[in-house]
Amino acid sequence: MADQHMQDDPQQLELLRVCRIGRAQGLKGEVTVQVFTDDPEWRFEPGSVLYAHDGDDEYVVESSRTFKQRWIIKLEGCDDRSAAEALNGLELYGEADDPDDMLEADEWYPKDLIGLEARMAEGNAIGAPEGSVVGKVVDVVDAPAQSLLKIRLANPVTTGTAKDGTPIMEKTALVPFVDELVPDIDLGEGYLTLDPPGGLIPGL
């Protein structure tokens, strides 16, 4: 999946959140970053241009490296620890990819997935009818290991009873966004298909 959080203002560049700057690293202007992109090698390549939230202020990557699974970058003009500390908390954005290139690469932005109808795939592992509606994608959760699709169930399931006797309803399900479980996505028709194992989705 591609970078997160698209800008909505059509007057601005079409920007996607790439990272949030953290603490200064060392004395030469390097900073640690919290990454929000699936392509950090490309986004943090020397010479890459990143932007502040409004798209007006540009930041050029001078160098980047990884240390203990954490990305550390240096921006041009940020040459000492004081300058690095002043950037703490700044979120940086990159320009959106070309939509046609993304389709060819089998990639989607989270905003494209939200609102899609979730249907059971043909020949699914649990034998549910092909095309039966599971629900609708309402969010894409950025988990550490992989992204998760949050699906609002078309048919909520009662899973128990509260102390006051009120039924406990499961109204949503989280499905790992991987090819094995989400084999097909059709943005034009507004749906995706699911092939979940038993027990992953309440009621199935």
Q: What is the pLDDT of residue 13?
A: 55
Tokens of residue 95, six digits: 């320009």
Strands 167-176 and 147-161: antiparallel
Region for 41 from its dihedrals, namely left if φ exceeds 0, alpha if ψ lies in -120 to 50, beta otherwise: alpha
Is 0.85 surpassed by the pTM of this model?
no
Q: What is the pLDDT of residue 178?
A: 87
Q: What is the pLDDT of residue 88?
A: 95
What are residue 128's phi and psi, to 5 degrees?
A: -75, 150
- How far CA 163 is from CA of 103, 160, 170, 171, 199, in Å, comes to 49, 10, 17, 19, 25
Q: What is the pLDDT of residue 7?
A: 42
Q: What is the pLDDT of residue 135?
A: 96
Q: What is the pLDDT of residue 64?
A: 96
Q: What is the pLDDT of residue 12?
A: 47
pLDDT along the chain (204 residues), means of 10: 44 72 95 88 92 87 92 96 95 75 57 91 95 95 81 91 87 92 90 95 90
